[in-house]
Chains A and B, each alone.
Chain A
């Protein structure tokens, strides 16, 4: 049995609200080598199908919370990102205000090449100022005894 704080499962936490600027969007787009004007050039984007500048889908990664809910799993010395499942419902635009809400949805065990692993699954929704959910990101964190590279 994995020992962890079971009370936390399913509980929703509001992580914060963030204001989106054109500079943030352009900064992220440039950092990943985007050249599509819909992410970079507001004037060109206005004439295009998106009707204005939009953020690339993975832009959700700019929103940082100070504290994330922690199920306090009693296993493992290191934690890594094991995987993500993202759904994108609507684009994020300059001027949007995005609120992050998150829940721990699962904690489970499995074995792999590096031995025993415990997975913590956390689902975060991103809501804009109109109350629309623009994205959902389910992140799977894996706790292991060591930082061995290959799984």
Chain B
């Protein structure tokens, strides 16, 4: 469900973004693969994935990005994602118990586009972060023109 509007003035460096649970199942991965017409077999064929050295199928990296993007818009209705940059340091596998998390680290007041920078992560139950990066999000201003 989308959250309430969050205004630029109300956000502080250090604020946490509402975490979003992401427990990918084989079905969810298959649905994403289908929606994106992905033909790469490492996301659908366990034997093929193992031939590449993985334990079995993995989730596409962009699926993690899509959940990070969703975490942000769920947290702040009316926000606009301007930049999203991540490094993939580990695989996301079906059955993983993950949480998307974020932290506000910077604010830029720039007239028409007030934005915040956030460190964003997808973390597993051990605290490891297979996906980690940074997002720049435009927030509406509370003050009326």
Query: Which residues in A have some Cβ–Cβ distance to B below 8 Å?
Result: 24, 27-28, 30-37, 49, 56-58, 61-62, 64, 78, 80-88, 146-151
Contacts and interface: CB of A to CB of B under 8 A. Distances in A.
Interface range on chain B: under 10, 10 to 19, 20 to 34, or 35 or more?
A: 35 or more
A49 B36 CA distance: 27
A34 B35 CA distance: 13
Contacts of B85: 83-86
Contacts of A82: 87-88
Contacts of B61: 81, 84
A36 B81 contact: no
Given A28-B35, A56-B70, A81-B61, A146 B81 contact: no
Contacts of A33: 67, 70
Contacts of B19: none
B66 A61 contact: yes
Nearest to B60: A61
Contacts of A149: 54-55, 90-91
B88 A80 contact: yes
Contacts of B1: 35
Interface of B: 1-2, 28, 31-32, 34-39, 52-55, 60-63, 65-67, 69-70, 73-74, 77-78, 80-91, 133
A32 B70 contact: yes
A31 B88 contact: no
B38 to A, nearest CB: 7
B53 A146 contact: yes
A84 B131 CA distance: 11
A98 B67 CA distance: 23
A147 B66 contact: no
A103 to B, nearest CB: 18
Nearest to A79: B52
B65 A49 contact: no
A30 B133 CA distance: 24
B32 to A, nearest CB: 5
Nearest to B21: A33
Contacts of A147: 52-54
Contact of B35 (A37, A62, A81): A62
A132 B16 CA distance: 34
